[in-house]
Amino acid sequence: MTLRSFLIFLLSSLILAGCSSVPESVTSVEWQAHEQRLETIHDFQATGKLGYIGPDQRQSLNFFWKHSTALSQLRLTTVVGQTTLMLTS
């Protein structure tokens, strides 16, 4: 075996061995602490705007979403503030 063949064989073996080893995934301590904080959240609210652009029309609406352990509410309003949908549970 020549030196060149040996180096090619050695390099190929190292590359293939590197591809076959998968590092062990470790969950960071910060992520676990963040996940614990998220699990304590029971009440939240979100507001925003949604839009649709089609080939021949454009529509937009505002939304208000409020959730608590006792009540969930979703309200959709037009641009001028008229309520078009109110869901409560």
Q: Is residue 38 part of a domain?
A: no
- Whether the model clears a pTM of 0.85, i.e. scores above it, the answer is no
pLDDT higher for 12 or 58? 58
Domain housing 69: 43-89
**pLDDT above 70 for 7:** yes
Please, what is the average pLDDT of the chain? 86
pLDDT tens, 43-54? Answer: 999 999 999 999
Residue reference for tokens 């470790």: 26
Identify whether 12 is part of a domain. no
- Closest by alpha carbon to 63, among 48, 83, 80? 48
Per residue in 64-76, pLDDT (tens digit) is: 999 998 999 999 9
Burial of 74 (0-12, 13-18, 19+ CB in 10 A): middle
